[in-house]
């Protein structure tokens, strides 16, 4: 049996009145993340005015947990920072949470629209 792993990244944006703005931002972020990332969904996010939720996913096959944890940290830092890190020793996995703050750093001016982010590791047995 193989344990296949993937990463899911959910971003909530702000100040995006039209869905097309989120589509453009999603394409830009997907290109920044690299080959193999897919946009699963872009939808209105009702909790905040003029917000969208963009969901990304990428399969990584049977990569080691340690390698995937490091990659997750590197990928999220390409977008914005700082990210809170939650480590689960039993599962040997991490989750990363981003909340926009005064001291947040954006790696691209377009990423100012990112208000919140969540990256999590997923696994399945085949």
The answer to whether residues 80 and 101 touch, using CB atoms and an 8 Å cutoff, is no
Instruction: Tell me the two tokens of residue 4.
Output: 């296949």
| Interior/surface letters 19-37, b for 16+ CB within 10 angstroms, e for the rest | eebbeebbeebbeebeeeb
Per-residue pLDDT at 103 exceeds 70: yes
Residues 6+ apart with CB under 8 A from 17: 50
Interatomic CA distance for residues 113 and 25, integer angstroms: 9
Per-residue pLDDT at 81 exceeds 90: yes
What residue spans of 34-97 are helical by DSSP H? 65-77
**CATH of residue 65:** 3.30.70
Q: How many domains does the chain have?
A: 1
Q: Computed from CA positions of residues 98, 94, 75, 27, in that sequence, does the dihedral angle turn out positive or negative?
A: negative
The residue range of the domain holding 8 is: 3-125
pLDDT band at 89 (very low <50, low <70, confident <90, very high): confident
pTM: 0.93
The 10s digit of each residue's pLDDT in 3-41 is 788 999 999 999 998 899 999 999 999 999 999 999 999
Q: What is the pLDDT of residue 124?
A: 75
Residues pairing with 4 in the sheet = 124
């Amino acid at each position: 049996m193989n344990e296949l792993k993937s990463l899911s990244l959910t971003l909530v944006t702000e100040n995006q009145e039209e869905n097309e703005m989120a589509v453009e931002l999603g394409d830009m972020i997907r290109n920044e993340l690299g080959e193999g990332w897919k946009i699963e969904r872009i939808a209105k996010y009702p909790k905040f005015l003029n917000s969208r939720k963009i969901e990304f996913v990428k399969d990584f096959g049977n990569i080691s947990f340690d390698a995937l944890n490091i990659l997750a940290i590197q990928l999220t830092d390409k977008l914005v920072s700082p990210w809170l890190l939650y480590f689960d020793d039993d599962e040997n996995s991490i989750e990363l949470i981003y909340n926009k703050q005064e001291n947040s750093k954006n790696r691209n001016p377009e990423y100012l629209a990112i208000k919140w982010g969540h990256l999590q590791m997923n696994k399945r047995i085949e």
